Amino acid sequence: MNHPRPAAPDAMPSADILGVTRLPTIPAVIKRNTLLLATAQAFVGVGNQMVPTLGAIMVTQLLGSPALAGLATSILGGCRFLVAYPVGYAADTYGRRAGLLAGLLLSLVGAITVGRSLMQRSFLVFLGGLVLFGLGVGAGQQLRLAAADLYPPSRRAEGLGYVLMGSLVGALGGPLLISAAQTTAPALGLEPLALAWLLIPLIVLPSLGLVWLIHPDPREIAANLSAYYPGQAVTPGAGLEDGAPLSMGRLLRKYPVRVALSTSFALQGTMAMVMAMTSLALAHHGYALPAVSLAVAIHVMGMYGLSLPLGHLTDRLGRRAVMLSGVVIAGAGSGLVSLSSAYGVITAGTFLVGLGWSCMNVAVVALLADTTHPRERGRAIGVNDTVSGVAAIILPLVAGPLVALFGLASLAVVSVCLLTMPFVLLLRLHETSPGCYMVQRH
């Protein structure tokens, strides 16, 4: 491919009169690709809200019983778990755009299939469509990797923050899509649930166009960062210098990677476990459904609303500091949700759990991008998402019996135990400066 000409002098690192080093200027092509990724993330986020919002209602309507109401959410989580590594392999082999386009096409076909299943009252067709949609949603997780590819270590988490802010826009747009379906369905002679899914192609098609416009492929930019940021101390990442293929053992020999996987497992598991029980906690204390919905919305704000400032902090203070903060914040949030009966306290707890997860989501991706080569980075993110998927599937299932036996307070104890391991591992991580790590084999 043709790489850009050397940047103008203002793209070179410089110091002001106080001797403070200025950050590298972002080239126009990087800004363009970042905007395309962030906008695609916003569109994708709208569709991603459909299953958590409507899943239980759809299953109950098709089966006539709420006994399997949680099935749709479980299928979504299981599909994300199954597709994480394969789509990472595809992104490493064929480029980030290929993996993203494949995921969007799966989402498109899956959404149409789910919509038709609701019109036909076919539970089997519904399951097939939901699987396709879930695989597409899982593949869409590579959007954040594509963002990390575009930036040098000194601004990598900032780039992630820009793209992840699109998730907040998508989360807010989901209810608008559902409201539009409910308003227009009677005039079209369709059921609102079915129309909501049939409207998703209007969201996915623009996303396909946006991803198609991304050029050069983020993987190629990551492999040639010095061409885009001349004069900067940028490296493509470590991992394939000797030409050896990626293996799980090779990946796990890197201490920072083990820290990243442990932190992802603990924070994803804590969030899934606490949020699975939040509605129960609020209902247990007598709060109505609108209050429950508001608490969940505030939780989503915690997950995505501060992505950009967290990106700046991750680049200034280091990945380790932000990950440690995330562990502590999530632990405090789980305690508030589990131990209080006050609505304001429980809601604040849900926000803090989301904020702790957001710290992990930004800093872990940056850490993995720092320590892996662009041609293995997709698989590294895939392994990380697989580990997170295991936590999201298992821990909510564990939470139910625990609450039944020991009460909601038991969630706080489990969360603290779960978060202790990454806390200890993070204390031993030697990050000499943001994005730079000492070699550790222990």
- Could you say which DSSP state residue 318 is in? -
Tokens of 205: 């098609």
Tell me, what's the pLDDT at 260? 97
- CATH fold of 25-225: Growth Hormone; Chain: A; (1.20.1250)
Asked whether the beta carbons of 120 and 220 are under 8 A apart, the reply is no
Residue 227's contacts (CB-CB under 8 Å, 6 or more residues apart) are 3, 4
CB contact set of 441 (below 8 Å; sequence gap of 6+) = 253, 255
267, 421 contact by CB (below 8 A) = no
Of the candidates 278, 304, 309, 275, which has an alpha carbon nearest to the alpha carbon of residue 395? Answer: 275
Distances in Å between the Cα of 207 and the Cα atoms of 345, 394, 428, 434 are: 38, 32, 41, 33
- Whole-model pTM: value is 0.84
Q: Which CATH number fits domain 247-429: 3.30.460.40, 2.60.40.10, 2.40.30.30, 1.20.1250.20?
A: 1.20.1250.20
Largest CA distance in the chain: 71
Measured distance CA(126)–CA(52) in Å, rounded: 15
Residue 279 CA to residue 287 CA, distance in Å, equals 9
Query: What one-letter code names the amino acid at 208?
Result: L
Q: How far apart are CA 48 and CA 43, in angstroms?
A: 9
- Nearest Cα residue to 275 out of 218, 210, 357: 357
pLDDT score for 109: 96
8 A C-beta contact, residue 379 and residue 240 = no
Q: In this structure, is the dihedral angle defined by the CA atoms of residues 348, 350, 352 and 355, taken in order, positive or negative?
A: negative
Residue located via tokens 């690709």: 33
- Digit-by-digit pLDDT tens for the chain (442 residues) are 455 543 433 333 444 444 445 677 899 999 999 999 999 888 887 777 788 777 778 888 899 877 777 688 778 878 888 999 999 999 999 999 999 999 999 999 999 999 999 999 999 999 999 999 999 988 988 888 899 999 999 999 999 999 988 888 877 777 788 888 889 999 999 988 899 899 999 989 999 999 999 999 999 999 899 899 987 766 555 544 444 556 677 788 889 999 999 999 999 999 988 877 777 677 777 877 567 767 877 888 899 899 999 999 999 999 999 999 999 999 999 999 888 888 999 999 999 999 999 999 999 999 999 999 888 899 999 999 999 988 888 888 787 788 778 888 888 899 999 999 999 999 999 999 999 998 665 5
Do you find a cis peptide bond into 52, omega within 30 degrees of 0?
Answer: no
pLDDT at 34: 94
- Give the SS3 label for residue 15: strand
Does residue 370 contact residue 58 with C-beta atoms inside 8 Å? no
CA 158 – CA 146 distance, rounded (Å): 13
Two tokens, residue 362 = 């930004």
Distance CA 40, CA 253 (A): 35
* Cα dihedral value 151, 222, 92, 201, nearest 10: 50
- The CA distance from 61 to 51, in Å, is 14
The structural domains of the chain, with segments of one domain joined by +, span 25-225, 247-429
The rounded distance, in Å, linking the Cα atoms of 158 and 305 is: 14
Q: How many Å apart are CA 382 and CA 81, to the nearest integer?
A: 9
